[in-house]
Structure 1
């Protein structure tokens, strides 16, 4: 699905005051580059950006209108304000719809595993996989069925590679999900003991501290 959005050219400026003013007015500075495109500083409405990403997804194709012309782009990178939770900057990559892209796709687990029913725990060490695919075929997520996963077993890229129509770039031994046994009471007691030992403050001699301060 291709979603439409409008961008406007902006003056290339790294001055904090200019960028702060843009953001305070509800806009996000960014840049467009890539296929048959000169690197162009742009600005987009943050409201429109959020709405577009909700509709298209992180890897969706965006039909970006700029100066009366439309380009197919994807969001290649972005920066967020950790305190405000708002966008600080976005990079749009112009693409050729006939060429394959390398993108990261979220791994989505489905089903209740045998291991969970037996009292075990599901762990997901890797939540994304890297794939090569045409823009029009980028999946919203890679769904992994855990129904048959028993305690002590794992599902790797090698296990699901042949079940999808696109190329997964990660190695066959790249672990997607594991089912682990519940901890015994002895293990829990040992963990509690280690935690208590680590919580004890370390006493540093005054002479050592003075020497360290001198070296600092």
Structure 2
């Protein structure tokens, strides 16, 4: 289900105008890209503050309704107040259905609790990365990539190359190598208990 939110066109610009908007419970923002002129907009702070708490808002194609005209966009930048729970500015990029997009999507780890190394071997699974850089056409953008930990053994690591990406989605990797996604670490206490049991036997 696509997330839809409203915005209005913003005429007044500059620091003073932005400050007045924020005092009135509004957020200045901008929509750019897709070979179209950038458009200054105003958004409702309360609505966007709650949307920003949703994981999907950061990794999905969004629909912004600017005075009745809907545009498909991606959230590209969020500026927060240094110490208040206040959003200062939002940047959105227009999406072209025929152009590949590049975005970080979250990783969802499953079967960590039922993994034999955790249940029987006293291991703890460490999540080394929690999001993945991907590129794809907008229609193929996944909300998340699933990481199945059921077969991860004690002392082993799972790498990015072992993940199953949805159809039409490619890894947009920076640099070389095969980054570690998760590792089954042996907890010191568990290792000591096993050694003690072995000695007793």
> What SS class does the counterpart of residue 153 from structure 2 fall into?
coil
Compare the two structures and name the one with the higher helix fraction.
1
Which of 1 and 2 has greater Rg? 1
Q: Which residue of structure 1 aligns with residue 142 of structure 2?
A: 139
Q: Does the CA-based 8 Å contact 2:118-2:124 persist in structure 1? A: yes
1:115 corresponds in structure 2 to 117
Question: Deviation of residue 172 (structure 1)?
Answer: 6.0
Q: Is contact 1:2-1:56 (8 Å) kept?
A: no
Q: Deviations over 1:73-126 (max 9, x none)?
A: 111111122422221110010111222210001111111222212111111111
SS in 1 for 2:22: helix
Secondary structure of 2:188's counterpart equals coil
Aligned to 2:162, the other structure's residue is in SS state helix
The aligned residue for residue 47 of structure 1 is 46
1:62-141 counterparts in 2 under 5 A?
A: 62-111=62-111, 112=113, 113-117=115-119, 118-141=121-144
For the pair 1:25 / 2:24, whether they are aligned, the reply is: yes
Distance in structure 1 (CA, Å) of the matches to 2:50 and 2:83: 21
Do residues 155 (structure 1) and 154 (structure 2) align?
no
How far apart, CA to CA, are the structure 2 residues paired with 1:134 and 1:21?
A: 39
SS for the counterpart of 2:76 is strand
Q: Please report the TM-score for the alignment, with normalisation by the length of structure 2.
A: 0.80
Alignment check: 8 A CA contact 1:103 1:130 kept: yes
Structure 1 distance, partners of 2:100, 2:46, is: 30
1:67 Cα shift?
4.8
Aligned equivalents of 1:183, 1:84: Cα separation in 2: 41
| CA root-mean-square deviation | 2.5
Q: Which residue of 2 aligns with 1:196?
A: none
Instruction: Quote how far apart the aligned CAs of 1:173 are.
Output: 1.3
Partner deviation per Cα, 1:144-186 (whole Å, 9 max, x = no partner):
011111111111111114x53211223661111001111259x
| Native 8 Å contact 2:49 2:87 kept in 1 | no
Q: Is the 8 A contact 1:97 1:134 kept in 2?
A: yes
Give the superposition deviation at 1:55: 8.9
Please report how far the alpha carbon of residue 34 of structure 1 lies from its aligned counterpart in structure 2 after TM superposition: 0.3
Q: Calculate the TM-score normalised by the size of structure 1.
A: 0.75
